[in-house]
Each structure stands twice: as structure tokens, then as C-alpha cells.
A and B are shown apart, each in its own frame.
Chain A
């Protein structure tokens, strides 16, 4: 099993550009989520999904869109990137709700100029 995979590993964008961060898992997990990690702050939940076709907002959803058309994939879209979105983004998946063991991907380091 590859576990949770994320692409790309690194990305540089200009302000106003759009892009999609990819996340896939091969563990047949129902729950998937996106976090951002910034220096001096803990990981913060952006969006999550409890199954295909169902998504909801987390703590910091503004500026990000998600969809979940399959169990395996949970892409994160930035429609118009801003410097404040410079961060490391982690995708996670789990059998159980977010309060239980999460399996994290390796992360995507995004810089917005």
C-alpha cells in the first residue's frame, strides 16, 4: 500500500494564480481531510470529507475549495492564490472520524509570491 500520497511536493505560485493540490489514499478510508501547517501555529483543519460526495468546512476554509467524487481522491483547490496561503499542506485519511488515528501524507510546500 502506498498509503496517502500528495502531489506536487513543492510548488511556487504567483498571487492570483490557481492550482489544485492532489491527495489520494489506497486504504479505502471514508474520512479525508486537509490541514495547513505554519510556523508557530499548530496544524489547522481546512476542509474534511466523511465520504464520497460529502464535504464540510474546518477551522480555516476561506480561499479553498474541495470535492470528493471518489473514495480515493480528495483534491484541494486554490482559486486565486494569496501570499497568506504560503504554507505546508497535509492531507490525511482515516477509517474513523477525525478524533481518531489519522494517516498523514508527506505534505506539499506551497509558496505564493
Chain B
């Protein structure tokens, strides 16, 4: 069956360190992979998209990698801040009009 796994339900890190979140998938061939941030009681907010033929994407303190051989994406937040505390979701799209989400990783940045 198709599955998207995000490394852990919760991740705690010290302020200033780099947070690394993992998204592993099986039985998908995603053309696109997205990362979203979700705060409690709110809808997800788009952060980054990476295509299957791209290895890495950056946006300010965020970096996403995409390894289609390992079937894995890594999401990095450098110089993390308490304001980065949220749940982060990965989402895969095998084609134009389908989108499958992982269950998310709740990140807490400790001051």
C-alpha cells in the first residue's frame, strides 16, 4: 500500500541549531513534493515545492532535498527560532490532480 512517513511525531531542538525533518515514501512516484507548516487550529501554509528532477531547493533559512532513489525528502531549518515551532507536513503529488499528505512532525524549538 502507499505510505508516507514523517520521521517522528515530535522533535525538540535547541534554539540556534538546525532542525532536520524526514519524509519517506513507498509505492509513490511523485512528480512534486511540497512542505507545509501548520500551527494549532489553523490551515497549512505552503513553504517549498521541489520537483522530481531537482536535488535541492532553498528559501531563506529553509532547505529541502529530494532523493527519488532513496524515496526520501529532508527538510532543514537552520538557525532555528522558537517561532519555528509548529507541525510540518510533507505532501506528494504523483501527477497533476492528486496530493497525498504525511501525518506531520511537531517541531518544538527550545529557547
Chain B: residues with Cβ within 8 Å of the partner, total of: 25
Answer whether residue B78 sits at the interface, using C-beta atoms and an 8 A cutoff: no
The stretch from B11-19, B56-64, B68-76, B92-100 touching chain A is B92-100
With an 8 A cutoff between CB atoms, is B32 at the interface?
Answer: yes
Query: Does B44 contact A90, Cβ atoms closer than 8 Å?
Result: yes
Question: Is B49 part of the contact surface with A, judged by Cβ < 8 Å?
Answer: yes
Query: In the complex, how many angstroms separate the beta carbon of A5 from the nearest chain B beta carbon?
Result: 11
B 30-60 contacts with A by CB, 8 A:
31-32, 34, 36, 41-46, 49
Which residues of chain A are within 8 angstroms of B28 by Cβ–Cβ distance? none
Contact residues in A for B103 (Cβ distance below 8 Å): 40-42
Total residue contacts A-B, CB cutoff 8 A: 71
Nearest-Cβ distance from residue A8 to partner chain B, whole angstroms: 14
Q: Interface extent on A, as a size class?
A: 20 to 34
Contact indicator A98/B98 (Cβ below 8 Å) = yes
Q: A41-B103, A99-B31 are in contact. Are A104 and B97 (CB under 8 A)?
A: no
A-B contact sample (8 more), CB < 8 A, given A43-B44, A97-B96, A100-B93: A42-B100, A42-B104, A44-B101, A92-B43, A98-B96, A101-B49, A105-B43, A106-B43
21 contacts between A and B (CB under 8 A): A35-B101, A41-B103, A42-B4, A42-B91, A42-B100, A42-B102, A42-B103, A43-B44, A43-B89, A43-B101, A45-B99, A45-B100, A48-B97, A90-B44, A99-B34, A100-B93, A101-B49, A102-B46, A103-B46, A105-B43, A107-B42
A positions within 8 Å CB-CB of B: 4, 31, 33, 35, 40-45, 48, 50, 56, 58-59, 90, 92, 97-107
